[in-house]
Structure 1
Amino acid sequence: MSTNIAEAMNNAIKECKDLPITGVIDYIREVLQSWFHDRRTSVLKLSTQLTTVGDVAIGVKDERARYMRIYLITFYTFLVKDGDLDGNVDLTAKTCTCKEFDVDQLPCAHALACIR
């Protein structure tokens, strides 16, 4: 696995480099079609809208959120005390002072404590 698409495609099509260009293009189409089919079938098996990795990450954060204290500032803004890194959470803007909610676009432990 690589994040470099050119490297991934070169590894995928190294078997067909001796074929004429039409054969190479047909082979690339088959490879891409199988990748998309495999991804689609694995996504259809999911029971939630998040991936398995996202589900596990939310579960771990939710466990941490159980022990946090929440103080209401406004209807959608909260001060969350966790004893280590306190956070100000704004649920309408989807932001937290820990910046995890901002960057990952998944609720941080502070936000999960407020949602709870």
Structure 2
Amino acid sequence: MAFLTNVNPALAAYLNEADPTLWSRVYCPGDRYNIKTSNIAESINSMLMKAKGYTITYLIEFITKKLGRWYWKRREDALSLITTFSRGVEFLLALREHYADMMTVERIDGWRFYARGGQRDCLVDLEAKSCSCGVFDVEKMPCSHAIKAVKSSGWHMSTVVEAYYRKDYVYASYAATIIPNVEHDPIGPNIRCIPPIPKQKPGRQKKYRWLTWLELSRKNGSKPRKSHKQYMLVQNADSLDILNLIV
């Protein structure tokens, strides 16, 4: 915010007047993740490009089969994990542990620690699962300061990481099986979706034809957009001979 104030004070004042819980992940009372849902929607739309334009039944069967393959692939991926947490979480914890080894920690009591090093010195509370840097509180995953405190206390890392990061939770997210519809033969992609026949209103139907650009310009009372070629008027035969020589 200090950097933003130096760059654009008006924008910083606007954000201060607004409710920080609506735009700041730190002050959000719930669990807000750094995921752009619009990108997921665009991915789904691109996946449905092959099925658009066909009948509704074919579109539903296409979505059902695609989701079934996705769920099966992710279930198999979760079962193949040999670590406690998912691959992304394990990679992030290993990266933060590398920086935690460069820090020093001072024990205050049975739960609280004071970690020194990194960009700032922080107070870690393992009972409340919080750190003064704010990362531990928001991500529900230990930061480098908390990892240093956990290693110094002899605790296991699974005691401070939220349970929904474990591999069994990843498997449970895709445990449901999606069964395709087998009551009738699948509709092939060669059947196109025909638009419905609209109901005609009573009375004589009006018929209009497409007007040309010149008719539209005259109707609107404006000059035509197309520029006409200018021709020179020949006054006598001598001028005509000169034009013939030029051509």
TM-score normalised per structure 1? 0.88
Rounded to whole Å, the distance in 1 between the matches of 2:119 and 2:65 is: 52
Partner of 1:90: 125
Cα deviation for residue 3 of structure 1 reads: 3.7
1:29 and 2:64 are equivalent in the alignment: yes
> Which deviates further from its counterpart, 26-35 or 63-72?
63-72
Larger relative contact order (Cα-Cα within 8 Å, sequence gap ≥ 6): 2
Partner of 1:77: 112
Instruction: Provide the aligned length of Structure 1 versus Structure 2.
Output: 115
Rounded to whole Å, the distance in 2 between the matches of 1:58 and 1:10 is: 34
Partner of 1:112: 147
Rounded to whole Å, the distance in 1 between the matches of 2:141 and 2:118 is: 22
Cα deviation for residue 8 of structure 1 reads: 2.1
Q: Which segments of structure 1 move beyond 3 Å, counting only runs of 4 or more?
A: none
Percentage of identical aligned residues: 32
Structure 1 portions without partners, runs of 5+: none
Cα distance, 1:83–1:108 mapped onto 2, change above 3 Å = closer
Structure 2 portions without partners, runs of 5+: 1-35, 152-247
Q: Larger helix proportion, structure 1 or 2?
A: 1
TM-score normalised per structure 2? 0.44
Partner of 1:60: 95
Rounded to whole Å, the distance in 1 between the matches of 2:51 and 2:59 is: 6
Rounded to whole Å, the distance in 1 between the matches of 2:65 and 2:133 is: 44
2:116 aligned partner, one-letter code: K
Instruction: Spell out, residue by residue over 1:78-102, the C-alpha distance to the aligned partner (whole angstroms, 9 max, x if none).
Output: 1111164111001111110111111
Q: Over aligned residue pairs, what C-alpha RMSD do you find?
A: 1.7
SS in 2 for 1:53: helix
